[in-house]
């Protein structure tokens, strides 16, 4: 029964364009891949979810600090 449910879900996904028609690489994807640093992706995937969230929060805090310092310099 589980297999028939999976098949039904996959059929619905295909019909609703949620699933690509082909899983073969497209020229557009291949063109973008040359600009992606996969080592950074691999390193990030080694982190736990909590570590990734902590990293994201640190980046957001840094961005906010940059915004504040930029506003302060513009006001001077």
pLDDT tens digits for range 6-24: 777 777 766 666 555 677 8
Residue 35, domain extent:
2-75
pLDDT along the chain (76 residues), means of 10: 71 64 81 90 95 96 93 70
pLDDT for 76: 63
Number of structural domains found in the chain: 1
- CA dihedral of 62, 66, 71, 73, whole degrees rounded to 10: 140
- Establish how many alpha carbons lie within 13 A of residue 39's alpha carbon, considering only the half-sphere containing its beta carbon: 0
């Amino acid at each position: 029964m589980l297999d028939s449910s999976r098949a039904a879900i996959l059929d619905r996904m295909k019909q609703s364009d949620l699933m690509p028609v082909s899983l073969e690489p497209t020229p557009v994807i291949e063109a973008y891949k040359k600009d992606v640093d996969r080592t950074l992706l691999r390193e990030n995937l080694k982190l736990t979810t909590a570590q990734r969230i902590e990293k994201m929060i640190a980046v957001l805090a840094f961005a906010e600090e940059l915004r504040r310092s930029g506003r302060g310099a513009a006001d001077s």
